[in-house]
Homo-oligomer: A and B are copies of this chain.
Amino acid sequence: MPADHARVEPAIAAIIALREQGASVHCITNSVAQNFTANVLLACGASPSMTASHEEAPQFTERLDALLINLGTLDAERRAAIRDCAGVAARRGIPVVLDPVKCDLSPPRLAFAAGLLSQGNMILKANQAEARLLAEAPAALRVVTGSVDEISAPTGERGAVSNGHPLMDRTVAMGCALGALVAALAVRAQTPFDGALAALLWFGVAGEIAAERASGPGGFASGFLDALYATSPETIRKQAGIA
């Protein structure tokens, strides 16, 4: 699929900037995804911080560049930490990404997600079923994953990325880690839109490269981290599928 170069270049610039300058992301994420999410951030040049403790997470959020809020394995401790960290992030004006994992299966998660979004200015990263239920909630940007991933801004700006591979659905925490990368790139991109486009392209192209070399989801997960780490801007540019 031929790339829309005018759109791809600012995304590529954000990838290069993250690799060169780094970005620290505090992640309140589910216990299943913590390890893989941290490894994805490290592979991309970012620095993870992962405590979900109510007592500690706000202090880390005070010092870091961005915040990821992921609602998987939500419990009382995480809920309290999320509320406080969202407050710190809003006051500091750092990028916040919300991933309302499986809110379509859990009414309390849905209500909690809607409440967070209503505080304004968060980037929503969700799959189609989740995003549909939060269609009325305000968001600084909507990143909706699927066979084609879509980005839409309140300004009406839209983008779509067709990269990726089915083995990505056979690796747990792949979508959760994407949310963390959207947060890291929002720090280094000119606009949140460019950052989200960069994250989708980087993930999708790395998935395609890893799938070519893998014989199953185990080798794929490991090769995916290698591809995030090593794939050149030139390759991402060449394989970019802007739909």
List residues of A whose CB falls within 8 A of some B CB. 30-36, 38-39, 42-43, 48-56, 59-60, 63, 72-77, 102, 105-109, 169-173, 214-219, 221-230
Contacts and interface: CB of A to CB of B under 8 A. Distances in A.
Nearest to A229: B216
Given A55-B74, A59-B106, 15 more contacts: A31-B34, A31-B52, A35-B172, A39-B218, A42-B170, A42-B217, A48-B172, A50-B73, A51-B74, A51-B75, A53-B76, A54-B75, A75-B77, A170-B229, A217-B226
A49 B74 CA distance: 12
Nearest to A38: B172
A102 B53 CA distance: 14
Nearest to A62: B105
Given A219-B222, A226-B219, A172 B39 contact: yes
Nearest to A64: B105
A49 B31 CA distance: 12
A32 to B, nearest CB: 5
A105 B47 CA distance: 14
User: Ordered nearest first, which 5 A-B pairs have the shortest CB separation?
Assistant: A216-B226, A218-B225, A218-B222, A38-B172, A216-B229
A62 to B, nearest CB: 9
Contacts of A55: 74-76, 108
Report how many copies the assembly holds. 3
Given A42-B170, A43-B170, A49 B219 contact: no
Contacts of A32: 34-35, 38, 50
A171 B226 CA distance: 11
Given A106-B59, A214-B226, A51 B73 contact: yes
Contacts of A33: 35
8 contacts: A32-B50, A39-B171, A50-B72, A53-B76, A60-B105, A170-B229, A215-B230, A216-B227
A207 to B, nearest CB: 13
Given A60-B106, A77-B75, A221 B218 contact: yes
Nearest to A59: B106
